[in-house]
Structure 1
Amino acid sequence: MPLNRRTFLGTTAAAGAGVAVAGGVASPAAAEGRDPGHGHDHGQGRGPKRYAFSVMGTTDLHGHVFNWDYFTDKEYDDAAHNDVGLAKISTLVDAVRKEKGRHNTLLIDAGDIIQGTQLSYYYARVEPITGSGGRRGPEHPMALAMNHMRYDAAALGNHEFNYGIPTLRAFQEQLDFPLLGANALDAKTLKPAFPPYAVRRLRVPHGPDVKVGILGLTNPGIAIWDKANVQGKMTFPGLVEQAKIYVPKLRALGCDVVICTDHSGLDGGTSYGDALPYPENASSLVAEQVPGIDAILVGHTHKEVASRTVVNKETGKSVVLSEPYMWGMRLSVFDFELEFSRGRWQVVSVTAEVRNANAVAEDPVVKRLVKAEHDKVVAYVNQVVGTNAAEMRSTEAPYKDVPIIDLINRIQSETVKAALASSEYAALPVLSQAACFSRSAVIPAGKVTIRDVAGLYVYENTLEARLLTGAQVRAYLEFSANYYVQTTGAVDPAKITNANGTPDYNYDVVSGVSYEIDIAKPAGSRVSKVMFDGKPLDDSARFVLAVNNYRANGGGNFPGVAAAKQLWANSDEIRNTMIAWVKAKGVIDQKEFASVEWKLTQNGVPVF
């Protein structure tokens, strides 16, 4: 494991030896589990009886430093007028530190830091932080901002692995704080591949230090979603299982407070079915099943939960959980009240709230630190790569077959056909799946830039080819149709999608076959008239499916595809493949690829 600037050595030294903390510098005794302050009798009136401190938390920053949308080339805005980015969060953090006293605060993150914007993409792929040709790479913009903000620790998110382990290690080395992952293990030794925890000391005037243990837990789904990057290298057991190992260790080290930072949602739900024995969203389960935790910073699900209390089944004590909204829109603030009793600090109460980034200005220091990197990326994404004959939008893509999604499928199917041209599968028909990743994507008429194309495919997915039967294709379509709300009356496009919380990216359309989806029928019996080459689909026929790696590895739990034979895989992002396709063609003309292959019906009657 590479060392970063603060030299976090394994489990114990990552717990604080020689690490600057909010209240000073942790002594070497912290690394050995000794606490000099707790050896004194402060229960006889010679020291303070009460102490308060705060832990601030962010999550799912996804490469957002500024309140800027690189896909629209202007300031970020949405219907709720949220603002995004670390520059805003930094201002909120400074305000909390002034309120509470800088020495009485800690700052942590719950993961998904280095993927999500063109800013983060640029420093992973265009000018990578790993360096090239023996030259040292540039500093990652997120490292520049987070180091300035003096984070104390961050959990690994699943998207940390999107660019491969070397990029993640390079980012880790640039940080002044540890990346934690108690359930990210070396596949061969089963020992931690990252520090499982950190311990921070808070100095209490005329009293013993308060020791805060921070346990980092990541998502088991990494084994599926980034299989190509981690298989044989790392393994990811469950959050509950690893927390049961490390929370007692933190208490044995003399920690007065234990807080978890989990890249895992609250509700216990799982998108990958039974493909893994561990739940995807396990934070509430951790609180309920693992004694000794006082609070949990929650991430992964891009939801805002200011405060939720879960009672631990064994101890009956309350655990407070908080999930701030994604991209730096919110900052969670946990307020702890402690009392010195029976020779040590005891947690009396914990409360949590979130603060809104749109209420403050961007930190001018962060703006100055990352300005050059931001300007470079703005210039990059505005490069013209081709022209477009007619404007295409994704607004109606969740309920209509629109040309902009057909473009993705055309590029993917052509890429796979070319890749298999000299193989034994060359004669098989190629189908392709695509989803509406952004309802605001636009490819304008006229000049087309990199940001226009990249804005259509906002994830760093790569392309694969899997072998499916006609019956598996039919089952795939039927599963995808679960996205629609069963509707027998008037149809409102705004209300018929996202059934049971299904996100847009888990609704796939498949090109190369035609079909109808009847939204009046119950889930599981909606797809009909599935045709291939003008004839009813033959369940025994073989097809090649051009599919992204997230779906191929089990993301979304679509049937058949994860177990299907892999015929080919590419390491380049689909987004890059699309940009290269546009560059090579020069002109996008939807007349060459757009067709209506699927439609929604209601009792057999077309809806739109």
Structure 2
Amino acid sequence: MTDLILSRRHFLGTSAAFGAAALLHPFSARAAANQAHLRVLSTTDLHVHVWPYDYYADREADGLGLARTASIINEIRAEATNSILVDNGDYLQGNPMGDYVAYERGMPEGALHPVMQAMNVLGYDAGTLGNHEFNYGVEFMDKVNAGADFPIVCANFADKLGDGARNDTLHLKPYVLLDRQITDGSGQTHDMKIGLIGFVPPQIMTWDQRHLQGKFEARDILQAARAWVPEMKEAGADIIVALSHSGISTAPESEGMENAALHLAGVDGVDAVVTGHSHLVFPSEAYTSGDGIDVGAGTLQGKPAAMGGFWGSHMGLIDLMLEHEGGAWRVLTSESSARPISERVERKTVPLVESDQAVLDATRQAHEETLAYIRRPVGETSAPLHSYFALVADDPSVQIVSQAQTWYIEQMMKGTEWEGLPILSAAAPFKAGGRGGPDYYTDVKPGPVAIKNVADLYLYPNTVRAVTATGATVRDWLERSAGIFNQITPGEADQPLLNPAFPSYNFDVIDGVTYRIDLSEPSKYDPKGELINPDANRIKDLKFNGQPIDDAQTFVIATNNYRAGGGGNFPGNDGSSIIFVGPDTNRDVIVRYIVEQGTINPSADANWSFVPMEGTSVLFETGPAGRDYAAEVQGVSIEEAGEGADGFAQYRIQL
């Protein structure tokens, strides 16, 4: 009950704490007797970005950081009579500070994780789990969560599932009822129970099976919601807000949906939805109205909803005008928005707020320790490591990952039944622009390579896996990867090359074979990996050791736990083909490889290219800094083609 008492005291003092000069929101200003304005402030997908600092680039970054979001939180609280602050998950992993705490500093007895230090300073009222909370194991997650001065809830992650959701042995409480006193428009206070229930994608069982398989279970989000929300009402919840670490999809409801927020909003009894996971903003032009989505009103199936970007880029905000009638509270009207901490001005990120000093002070030691951690040199590179052209040509940032994976798996196969089989390596570019913006690329100059550079090459704490695959599976694996490209019409100029719906982390390049990609063919698979054109054949001239690949031959492929366990829905990868489960992360393997080599040469070997098309050109966007490397790209001729959108540079390839 201590947490609730502390939160209640904060709740009552929000307006007064920032002085009488604050301009009240219209809901607060015009609320009548028995009407109350409640603000639901939210963060989502922080990924340990507490400071406005890019640890991979080792420089300040104005477009991220909870310390910046904190300033908006303080301002928004001051505008309302009543408010609560919640977090929607994915706070524990995602940058070198998270890795430093997990792998080096640890969580000794009594220690506080820096993200919890920051959240405690801000006085969060509740939170839920995201899928990345499980990346370091449940024991570590539990130690971190124990330091929260607020309840963390999750209704569909269980130690053991029962014969129905209400009989599950949940790892955390499914929901919390916050006892609050809210002030109405006449100045009168009312007791209110605000219900908060949390959900995580059930795909955690695949994505982190090394930590979860055989020990924990996950239930479908909507099954859990339909079981627990009625109990919350029975327990006296006046208002129910769902904390959904799950994106917004208009796909029909199906069991085990990853992005279930739209359907969750339709569950009877849910009054509002805080959503996330997709690293997008809602309401915004990233979504279109229809099929239950109303961008203008900021609603999903008529219920107010907000998604606050990622890394602290925005603060999600749901304003509720509540009315007490017939002994019950109901939502009279609502507004939803996402407040940014920065804006793009002339291709630069310009901050809209300054950092909150209290958050910086609380986490300064962890920040400084992280800086020391990332700056340690581990070797040297004789060539630049960059990812500016990783989606259009063989690339040094992907090459070095494959070299390290192959080196590692060759050692691991010795003395096993698989020794002697040819070893290939599959790797994808992680920092390749996209939603991360025009600066979101790997760029390591020749010279010393530090831990920060390795983290830059490989963003995620995946662990190494080896799988077996036939030559036919290798071909289909590459067909799946080739779905990142649009179908190109021969003879036409300046056609868009890349499909924006296809994430770069699913563009696997397989090292150890050579091949070409025929863009005149349609993609065999859609961006989610579903077979759509069974007869399509983009992969041409697929060879191993200079000879056409034997579809029946068996290969060992070095990859990561995400891909081997089914992540990305790649042919042949459902967990059944795994022959080796590495105890080491892919990052650790890269570090060891660089240490052993001393000096690495990551130059791409151009093992893949496009099939030429006479009189045909395509356009793509990359970071402006790629200009320094364009002439060195192997296997394709690249030329500048003007400015792209949102600070990107545009380039042309003559096929």
Band the TM-score falls in, shorter-chain normalisation: 0.7 to 0.9
Show the counterpart of 1:23.
Answer: 11
Task: Mark the CA change 1:339 to 1:193 in structure 2 (over 3 Å): closer, same or farther.
Answer: same
Deviation at 1:243, TM superposition (A): 0.5
Q: Which amino acid aligns with 1:170?
A: K
Query: For the Cα contact (< 8 Å) 2:11–2:84, is it kept in 1?
Result: no
Unpaired runs of 5+ in structure 1?
1-5, 9-15, 26-46, 78-82
Q: Which amino acid aligns with 1:342?
A: G
The 5 Å alignment of 1:250-265 reads 250-265=232-247
Distance in 1, Cα, partners of 2:444 & 2:321:
53
Q: Among residues 351, 357, 373, which one is paired with 1:380 in the alignment?
A: 373
Give the match's secondary structure for 2:392. coil
Q: Among residues 549, 559, 567, which one is paired with 2:571 in the alignment?
A: 559
Deviation at 1:584, TM superposition (A): 1.9
Structure 2 residue 62 is the aligned partner of structure 1 residue 90? no
Deviation at 1:404, TM superposition (A): 2.4
Give the match's secondary structure for 1:100. coil
Partner deviation per Cα, 1:197-234 (whole Å, 9 max, x = no partner): 11113313534312211110111110110011111121
Distance in 2, Cα, partners of 1:441 & 1:317:
40
Distance in 2, Cα, partners of 1:542 & 1:235:
34
Structure 2 residue 192 is the aligned partner of structure 1 residue 210? yes
The 5 Å alignment of 1:195-344 reads 195-205=173-183, 206-268=188-250, 277-288=255-266, 290-306=267-283, 318-344=302-328
Q: Among residues 125, 128, 134, which one is paired with 2:103 in the alignment?
A: 125
Q: Which amino acid aligns with 2:582?
A: N
Query: For the Cα contact (< 8 Å) 1:110–1:157, is it kept in 2?
Result: yes
Q: Which amino acid aligns with 2:71?
A: T
Distance in 1, Cα, partners of 2:397 & 2:337:
41
Task: Mark the CA change 1:317 to 1:287 in structure 2 (over 3 Å): closer, same or farther.
Answer: closer
Show the counterpart of 1:139.
Answer: 112
Distance in 2, Cα, partners of 1:323 & 1:514:
43
Show the counterpart of 1:394.
Answer: 387
Q: TM-score, normalised by structure 1?
A: 0.86
Task: Mark the CA change 1:149 to 1:309 in structure 2 (over 3 Å): closer, same or farther.
Answer: farther
Give the match's secondary structure for 2:283. strand
Distance in 1, Cα, partners of 2:177 & 2:191:
12
Query: For the Cα contact (< 8 Å) 1:295–1:350, is it kept in 2?
Result: no
Q: Which amino acid aligns with 1:300?
A: H
Show the counterpart of 1:192.
Answer: 170
Deviation at 1:394, TM superposition (A): 0.9
Query: For the Cα contact (< 8 Å) 2:8–2:180, is it kept in 1?
Result: no
Task: Mark the CA change 1:476 to 1:100 in structure 2 (over 3 Å): closer, same or farther.
Answer: same
Query: For the Cα contact (< 8 Å) 1:264–1:301, is it kept in 2?
Result: yes
Partner deviation per Cα, 1:4-33 (whole Å, 9 max, x = no partner): xx678xxxxxxx6896464369xxxxxxxx
Give the match's secondary structure for 1:208. strand
Give the match's secondary structure for 1:174. coil
Show the counterpart of 1:534.
Answer: 546
Distance in 1, Cα, partners of 2:182 & 2:110:
41
Query: For the Cα contact (< 8 Å) 2:7–2:125, is it kept in 1?
Result: no
Show the counterpart of 2:53.
Answer: 68
Distance in 1, Cα, partners of 2:580 & 2:220:
31
Show the counterpart of 2:458.
Answer: 457
Task: Mark the CA change 1:166 to 1:258 in structure 2 (over 3 Å): closer, same or farther.
Answer: same
Distance in 2, Cα, partners of 1:442 & 1:114:
26
Distance in 2, Cα, partners of 1:7 & 1:558:
48
Show the counterpart of 1:347.
Answer: 331
Distance in 2, Cα, partners of 1:526 & 1:188:
44
The 5 Å alignment of 1:566-585 reads 566-585=578-597
Distance in 1, Cα, partners of 2:492 & 2:582:
44
Structure 2 residue 608 is the aligned partner of structure 1 residue 588? no
Distance in 1, Cα, partners of 2:376 & 2:494:
39
Question: Number of matched residues?
Answer: 551
Show the counterpart of 1:468.
Answer: 469
Q: Which amino acid aligns with 2:69?
A: I
Show the counterpart of 1:33.
Answer: none
Distance in 1, Cα, partners of 2:216 & 2:90:
18
Distance in 2, Cα, partners of 1:589 & 1:317:
54
Distance in 1, Cα, partners of 2:71 & 2:575:
48
- What's the C-alpha RMSD, in Å, of the aligned pairs? 2.4
Q: Which amino acid aligns with 1:67?
A: P
Distance in 1, Cα, partners of 2:250 & 2:291:
13
Q: Which amino acid aligns with 1:599?
A: S
Distance in 1, Cα, partners of 2:228 & 2:292:
20
Q: Which amino acid aligns with 2:323?
A: E
Show the counterpart of 1:437.
Answer: 430
Distance in 1, Cα, partners of 2:46 & 2:464:
25
Show the counterpart of 1:548.
Answer: 560
Task: Mark the CA change 1:436 to 1:549 in structure 2 (over 3 Å): closer, same or farther.
Answer: same
Give the match's secondary structure for 2:337. strand
Query: For the Cα contact (< 8 Å) 2:156–2:200, is it kept in 1?
Result: yes
Deviation at 1:580, TM superposition (A): 1.8
Query: For the Cα contact (< 8 Å) 2:388–2:442, is it kept in 1?
Result: yes
Q: Among residues 341, 353, 366, which one is paired with 1:360 in the alignment?
A: 353
Partner deviation per Cα, 1:497-534 (whole Å, 9 max, x = no partner): 235x1111011010111111111211122111110111
Partner deviation per Cα, 1:80-100 (whole Å, 9 max, x = no partner): xxx111101111111111111
Partner deviation per Cα, 1:240-275 (whole Å, 9 max, x = no partner): 1111011111111221211101010001569xxx9x
Q: Which amino acid aligns with 1:143?
A: M
Q: Which amino acid aligns with 1:448?
A: V
Partner deviation per Cα, 1:22-72 (whole Å, 9 max, x = no partner): 4369xxxxxxxxxxxxxxxxxxxxx93211110101100001001100011
Query: For the Cα contact (< 8 Å) 2:160–2:170, is it kept in 1?
Result: no
Distance in 1, Cα, partners of 2:582 & 2:599:
25
Unpaired runs of 5+ in structure 2?
14-31, 163-167, 294-299, 343-351, 433-440, 525-536, 617-634, 638-655
Q: Which amino acid aligns with 1:329?
A: S
Distance in 1, Cα, partners of 2:110 & 2:427:
34
Deviation at 1:114, TM superposition (A): 0.6
Give the match's secondary structure for 2:566. coil
Distance in 2, Cα, partners of 1:208 & 1:99:
20
Task: Mark the CA change 1:21 to 1:435 in structure 2 (over 3 Å): closer, same or farther.
Answer: farther
Deviation at 1:309, TM superposition (A): 9.2
Give the match's secondary structure for 1:280. coil
Structure 2 residue 147 is the aligned partner of structure 1 residue 167? no
Task: Mark the CA change 1:466 to 1:380 in structure 2 (over 3 Å): closer, same or farther.
Answer: same
Distance in 1, Cα, partners of 2:276 & 2:509:
29
Partner deviation per Cα, 1:91-116 (whole Å, 9 max, x = no partner): 11111111114xx1101111100111
Task: Mark the CA change 1:446 to 1:53 in structure 2 (over 3 Å): closer, same or farther.
Answer: same
Structure 2 residue 608 is the aligned partner of structure 1 residue 598? yes
